[in-house]
Structure 1
Amino acid sequence: MKKIYSIVLLIAVALGFTACGGGGGSSSSFKNAIVDINVSCVASPSSNDFDTYVTLYSGDKIVNDEAGTLVTTYHNVNGEKKVCLNSGKAHIVRK
């Protein structure tokens, strides 16, 4: 009976280590990418202006780097979200 208990415990421990990723360099998947918003907004943007704006993706988070920062987001006809900077400094945290 002790032998069966030991085998079950050993299997449980082994599964526990493999479920945690085993340290095989997977920590890089948890790093965030930083994308600066450095494109100024145009007063009356054309489609060419929209192409230069920064694209937002699902899960992106806009972070203001200075007080009084103002960004504008647009949705184009393709359903893409674009962002530009009116004033201040900002960046996007992308996962």
Structure 2
Amino acid sequence: MNKMNKTKINFLSGLAMLELEAKAQEGIVKDLRGQLTKLDTAQDAINKLEDTVETHKQKQMIEAEVAELKAEITELDVTASDFVTRMMDIN
């Protein structure tokens, strides 16, 4: 083989290797982007879950307060002279 053919083969081999390397990098970048997207999606799901838990806790607190107020109202003596004042305080 003459020197020109060896140089050409080396050049083409180098290009082929570079192309494979570029394809590999593209694959890695695509995979990492997919993982980042999954991470963002997972973080969004966690945030929504935390918000839901907080909302549920607040709802339970409010329901407990309402139950307590209902119990206080039920225990009021409607014949007492301060009935209206105590009802206003509860409200």
Q: What is the TM-score normalised by the length of structure 1?
A: 0.38
Q: Which has more helix, going by share of residues?
A: 2
Q: Which has more strand, going by share of residues?
A: 1
Q: What is the TM-score normalised by the length of structure 2?
A: 0.40
Larger relative contact order (C-alpha < 8 A, sep ≥ 6)? Answer: 1
